[in-house]
Amino acid sequence: MVSQSLPQVGALGSERARQKPWTERAHEWVVTVDHKKLGLMYIFYALVFLVIGGVEATLMRIQLAVPNAHFVSPEAFNELFTMHGTTMIFFVAMPILFGFANYLVPLMIGAQDMAFPRLNAFSFWMTAFGGLLLYFSFIGGSGVYGAGSAPSVGWWAYAPLTAKAFSPGHSTDYWTLALLVSGIGSIGAGVNLVATVLCMRCRGMTLGKMPLLAWLNLVMGGMVLAGISPLTAAQLMLCVDRYLGGHFFDTQAGGSAVMWMHFFWVFGHPEVYILVIPAFAFASEIIPVFSRKAIFGYPVMVAATVAIAFVSFSVWAHHMFAVGLPSYGNAFFVLTSMVVGVPTGIKIFNWLGTMWGGKIIFATPMLFCIGFLFQFLIGGLTGIMLAAAPFDWQLNDSYFIVAHFHYIIVGGILFTIFAAFYYWYPKFIGRLMDERLGKWHFWLFLIGFHLTFDFMHIPGILGMPRRIYTYEPGRGWGIWNLIVTFGVAFQVAAMLVFVVNLVRSYYKGKPAGNDPWDAWTLEWSTSSPPPEYNFAVPPVVKSRRPLWDLKHPEDPDWQYE
């Protein structure tokens, strides 16, 4: 059996880097192939788009706060929800998760970099250009009057609304090309993650001794490969339709609108899990450390993740229950959609098992994870309601569904992303984020989140469809929409606190040291921020928690694994 060695290295190059002129430093960022720099660039890029997408959401909520508002025009509203949805999924959630994966996976498996550093840089820049292309449509996407415009087809861009006949001008093309280009970036990132985890692990780290974060990102990378491809194929077909006179989706010439739906959701549902599995990864690292206990049921957690990945490729038509599939088709997708809830439930139980009997510390990262657990539980249960197809015939395309998926995406994924910021920022920057501001951020965001998204379920039950730019008074929706918009104010305030915290801590934060949380995985064995090649001497591990073994030589983990 290999023995363990964990060199504690100091910061090698980073002091020197600070003295170079800014042009040279900027140049270094642009040409870098270092996984940490690319990771930070992904994260920064996504934060910028989070603000943009947030502004778009706020504008929509102002418009909907009262009946018959004239804050934005109908066209502008339709552009806003299209841009908001597309931005949030493809240019916020995906890149931010890729960013964390990029930074953390090599560190946590004791590698010096990703498997393909140049592909890594290429992937980032493709993603970045995709976002720019989407937003360039504001200038270049000539609308009806030749002025710039944005796509207004919704983030699923259902055919035949995307056909030239119904979406003239170029804005829909910018949407298509943006997703094509960034999709290539995502596929590159997926290849890289899979290769890195499979080939770059340090000595002693068998698959069964990887931190869960590495496992989950391996699964995510694999899902990206299988999931993004149908989207890319569909975008190419749409381009052919729009420019070469193809008829894939052109219903006026015998094409099929339903085929687009299948293509889109074969991508679209796995996409949700591509986003949520890295979120699970954060929770699976943070909850144990702040409960002071090893993760409960590690092998089961891995198995559940793999099960989710496979089953999630067979549930897509639960987005199409109202499309008029035959009854046995609908029943099949009811079954698969409910079955995918089982491994998901198992994960929640295992996090609960991890906390059970621990000593829970309510630091900011843990607070966000606890928020995640409650909200993900509720979002999962409303998901079960939607999986019951007839119930979905009522709820689908109403505000209930908007509430449901924001419960998952904001209440689940975004909450764990915030947890990840508070937890790993000290590793990235070398300074801790401020705890007091962190608590303000958490509580403001929690209140805002619940005001907005709890009350959003109700107008859906009262028959309010999604994607409407206004509604008449007297339909019983007004008061709920007002509360929903009121909650957004809290979320905006919370985001301001968060940004202030990010910036302030960069200059004034408490120095973090290598291991501020008394944690157990390899990234905490190196300096903060880590030196250029992470570890001066490649580490050798014997268990899933190498730093636990180091700190507790009397009772090391490898005795039990």
* Single-letter amino acid, residue 217: N
Give the C-alpha separation, 97 to 332, whole Å. Answer: 32
* Burial call 123-161: b when 16+ CB within 10 Å, e when fewer: bbbbbbbbbebbbbbeeebebeeeebbbbbbbbbbebbb
Which range binds other proteins by CB under 8 A, 99-107, 183-191, 366-374, 503-511?
366-374
Give the C-alpha separation, 64 to 399, whole Å. Answer: 12
Residue with tokens 């994924």: 413
Taking CB under 8 A as the criterion, the residue among 123, 172, 305, 396 binding other proteins is 396
Taking CB under 5 A as the criterion, the residue among 269, 441, 457, 545 binding Cu ion is 269
Q: Does 554 bind other proteins (CB under 8 A)?
A: no
Burial classification of residue 508, based on how many CB atoms lie within 10 Å of its CB (0-12 exposed, 13-18 middle, 19 or more buried) = exposed
Which range binds ligand HEM by CB under 6 A, 23-31, 54-62, 110-118, 496-504?
54-62
CB-CB contact of 71 with 11 (8 Å): no
Q: Does 441 bind ligand HEM (CB under 6 A)?
A: no
CB-CB contact of 320 with 265 (8 Å): yes
Which among other proteins, ligand HEM, Cu ion, none contacts residue 92 (Cβ within 5 to 8 A by kind)? ligand HEM
160 cis-preceded (ω within 30 degrees of 0): yes
Q: Which is nearer to other proteins, 210 or 346 (CB)?
A: 346
Q: Minimum distance from CB of 281 to other proteins (Å)?
A: 18
Strand partners, 398: 465
Which among other proteins, ligand HEM, Cu ion, none contacts residue 291 (Cβ within 5 to 8 A by kind)? other proteins
Which among other proteins, Cu ion, ligand HEM, none contacts residue 269 (Cβ within 5 to 8 A by kind)? Cu ion
Nearest to 359 by CA among 291, 432, 444, 288: 291
Binding positions for other proteins, 314-333, rule CB under 8 A: 322-324, 326-327, 330-331
Q: Does 286 bind other proteins (CB under 8 A)?
A: no
Nearest to 309 by CA among 349, 353, 334, 344: 344
Q: Which is nearer to ligand HEM, 115 or 409 (CB)?
A: 409
Binding positions for ligand HEM, 482-541, rule CB under 6 A: 488, 491
Give the C-alpha separation, 174 to 132, whole Å. Answer: 10
Q: Minimum distance from CB of 376 to ligand HEM (Å)?
A: 14
Position of minimal CB gap to ligand HEM: 85
Binding positions for ligand HEM, 349-368, rule CB under 6 A: none
270 cis-preceded (ω within 30 degrees of 0): no
Q: Which is nearer to Cu ion, 407 or 423 (CB)?
A: 407
Binding positions for ligand HEM, 387-426, rule CB under 6 A: 402, 406, 409-410, 414
Q: Minimum distance from CB of 468 to other proteins (Å)?
A: 4
Structure tokens at 117: 């550093």
529 cis-preceded (ω within 30 degrees of 0): yes
Binding site residues, Cu ion, CB under 5 A:
269
Binding site residues, ligand HEM, CB under 6 A:
57, 60-61, 81-82, 84-85, 88-89, 92-93, 154-155, 402, 406, 409-410, 414, 452, 466-467, 488, 491
